[in-house]
Structure 1
Amino acid sequence: MRPIPSRLQSGPFTRADARRAGVTSRMLQGRRFVRLHQGVWCLAGHEMSEHDWIVAARLALPECAHLTGITRLQQLGLDFGPRQPIRFVVQGDLHLELEGVFLHRTTLLPPTDDVGVTVAAAYLSYCAHARVIDAITVGDWLLHHHHTTIEEIRALALSGLWRHGADEAVWVLDHLDGRSRSFKESELRPLLTFAGLPRPEANVPIDVHEDVVVIGDLVYREWRTVVEYEGSQHQEDRSQYSSDLDRYALMRAAGVRYVQVTKERLGRPQTLVGEVFRTLLAAGYDGPPPRFDREWLLLFRSVSTAVGPRRDRIHRRARGER
C-alpha cells in the first residue's frame, strides 16, 4: 500500500492538493480518507480542530467568501459564542450549502482584511442575530482589547443602514463599556441598568481614605456602593483571596458598601438586582425600585427584537423619523 504523503496528514486538503501529492481520485474514495465537503478531504482518524473546520470551509468556498460574524471575532481570541455554524459572507447570489457553514449573501461586501471582514463589520453581522446581553458582552470585550472602537462601529453602520445588523449595532453602542474587564462584569452591568437602576462606573478607583488604590468592578460613586464579581480565582488563588480580604476591610473602614456576586448568584438575576437596590437605599438612594417588565425582558431577546421590525425602521427613515 502506497504511504500517504506527510503534507496530507496534518489537516484538510483539496483534490488538487492530493493530485500534486500523488494521491489519485480513486485513492480518495478508499477508507484512508474522509470527505468533509465537496472537493475537500482529510486523513481518516485525523482529529479536526476548530481551525481545521474553518480551513476546510475556506477550501470548499470560493475565494470571494469571507469570515464574518462571531466566527471572525473568535479569530481574535474571543472565547465566547457558538463555534458552528462557521459564518461567511459573499457578495452576489451564490447558492452553496455546506454542513456546519452559514453563508450570508449581500449586495455589497463590507470592508475586509486578511482574516475576513473587518472587526467592526463582523460585529454588525453578529448583532443582527445576537441576544442583547450577548451583544453587550462581546462589544465590551472588543472595546476593552482595542480591536475596534465605538466610533468605527458607528461610522460603518451609519454609512449603510441597509447592512445586515447596522441598526442593531447602533442601538447596542449606548450600552457598551470598554472598561469592563470580564464577561461576567459585562453581564452584570446591564442586569442592573435594564432593571432601571442607575448605570454604575466600571473599574474605577474608590476613595477609601488611605494612600492606596482600590479599584471597584461596578461603582456607584454617589452612594459609595460597589458591586463586585467574585470569579472562581478569588477563592482558588490564596494570594488573591487574601488581597480581597484586605480590600473589603478597607472598604468597610471607609464606609463603602459592597455587594459580592458569584456565578451562582448571577444565575438568580432578579434576586441579585433586588439586593443591589436595597444596598443603594441604605446608602441614600431615593430612586424607583427595579422593574422586571418589557425592557428587562429585552435583555434576553435578540437585538433585532429590541430595535423593532426592519420594515418599520425603513418606513420611519423614509419619513425622516428616528
Structure 2
Amino acid sequence: MFRGSAAVASGLLSVHQLRGRGWIRLRHDVYADSRLPQDHALLCRASLARLPPDSVVLAGPSAAVAHGVHSAASPADPVHLIVVGDRRVGDQAGTRLHRIPLDPCDVSAVALAGGGTSVAVTVPARTAWDAAVWLALPDAVAVVDALLFQGVVTPASMREVVARLADRPGGRRAGHTLALADGHARSRAESVLRIRLFLAGLPMALAHPPIFAVRPPLAWPEFRLALWCAPDPAAERVMVSEGWLVVRTSPRRDFGEVVRELREALHARGWRTKRKQDVMESALTPNMR
C-alpha cells in the first residue's frame, strides 16, 4: 500500500501506470497491489494511511476486524475511527469519525492483517461497547457474540466497561445490548436470527445448548423446542425420541412463516406472552443516545 502522489514524484510509477490493472485505488491518493485481499482490514489500513499519525483509533466493528472477527465488517462498510483528544481530523469518504471521550485503558496496539506495523485500536471490551452503541441491535449482538465465541473478550471485562461507561451517552443502550450476547453462537447468521426472533416477540433462544449428545443451533430448553438451520437427521431423531419438538428453517423460508410456526409450537408447549419483551427502546433504535 502506498500514496500514489509519492510514487509518481519519486519516479517509481507514472500516472498512466498508476491507473493500470496492477493497482487498486482504495482512498484518495492511496493505492495497493490489486492482488491483495480486498477486505475491511485493507480499507482500515488505507484510511489510516491518509491521516496524521496517532490522530485516530480504530473502533467498533473495524476494531473487531482488527481483533480477528472478520465477519464484523465487510469492504462495503465504513471504517469507524475515534478521534484522539482535540486532534484536527477531516472527514473522508468511506470513514465514520466519532469525536467521543476515550480513556487510555481502552486503547491497545494490534497488527492489522497484511500490515507490518501495529495500529491503535480499542480494547475488545470497549470495541463491544462501541458496537452496541453504534450498530443496529442484530448487527451489534452478532459482533459481540463473535468476540465472545473467539475468546477475544470475556463477560467480566464487558461488565466492567458497562459499569464504567454507564453515564456516557449510549451507556444504557450498550448495557441492554451486551446483556443479549451469547458466546456459543457460531456464526453471524445464527446471531442475527436469534435476535430477529426475539424482536418478533418470542422468548430468547439459547445458541447451541448442550442437550444429550447434540447441540441444536437454537433452542428453548424450558419448552423442549429446538430450531435447526440445516438438516441433521441423526441429532433430530435423538431429540424427538426424548420428547423434543424440532422445527427446521433455511434462508429460503419466509421469516414470518418461521415466527408463526415457532410461536404456535411455544404456545403448545405452555409458553404464554406475558408483557412486552424486556428490551428497552434505547437498545432497539440505532440513533438513540
Query: Which band: TM-score by shorter chain?
Result: 0.7 to 0.9
> Structure 1 CA distance, aligned partners of 2:217 and 2:100?
41
Residue range with higher mean Cα deviation, 23-32 or 49-58 = 23-32
1:6-31 CA deviation, whole Å, 9 max, x = no partner?
xxxxx224767x5xxxx636777732
Tell me the residue number matched to 2:81.
88
Q: Is the 8 A contact 1:218 1:226 kept in 2?
A: yes
Alpha-carbon distance in structure 1 between the residues aligned to 2:271 and 2:277: 23
Amino acid at match of 2:60: G
| Structure showing greater Rg | 1
Question: Taking structure 1 as the reference length, what is the TM-score of the superposition?
Answer: 0.69
TM-score computed with the length of structure 2 as normaliser? 0.76
Matched, 1:287 2:272: yes
**Does 2:190 match 1:204?**
no
In the TM superposition, what is the alpha-carbon distance from 1:150 to its structure 2 partner? 2.7
Contact 1:153–1:169 at 8 Å: present in 2 too? Answer: no
Describe how 1:65-214 pairs up with structure 2 within 5 A.
65-75=56-66, 76-83=68-75, 84-93=77-86, 94-109=88-103, 111-115=106-110, 116-161=121-166, 163=168, 165-207=170-212, 213-214=213-214
Paired positions, count? 267
Q: Which whole-Å CA distance do the structure 2 matches of 1:53 and 1:99 have between them?
A: 11
Q: 1:225 to 1:102 in 2, by over 3 A?
A: closer
1:31 aligns with 2:19: no
Pairwise CA distance, 1:258? 0.8
Alignment of 1:210-229 (within 5 A): 213-229=213-229
**Which residue identity lines up with residue 57 of structure 2 in the other structure?**
H
Identify if the C-alpha distance between structure 1 residues 97 and 206 changes in structure 2 by more than 3 Å, giving closer, same or farther.
closer
**Partner letter of residue 177 of structure 2?**
V
Q: Distance in 1 between matches of 2:46 and 2:73?
A: 20
Partner of 2:117: none
* Alpha-carbon shift at residue 262 of structure 1 (Å): 0.9
Which position in structure 1 is the counterpart of 2:114? Answer: none
Query: Aligned partners of 1:14, 1:164: CA distance in 2, in Å?
Result: 40
Q: RMSD in angstroms over aligned alpha carbons?
A: 3.4
Name the amino acid aligned to 2:65.
Answer: Q
Could you tell me which runs of 5 or more consecutive residues in structure 1 were left unpaired when the two chains were aligned.
1-10, 208-212, 235-243, 311-322
8 Å contact from structure 1 (residues 12, 41) kept in 2: yes
User: Separation in 2 of the partners of 1:74 and 1:166?
Assistant: 23
Q: Deviations over 1:42-85 (max 9, x none)?
A: 37x84663344322222211222221111111221332434332
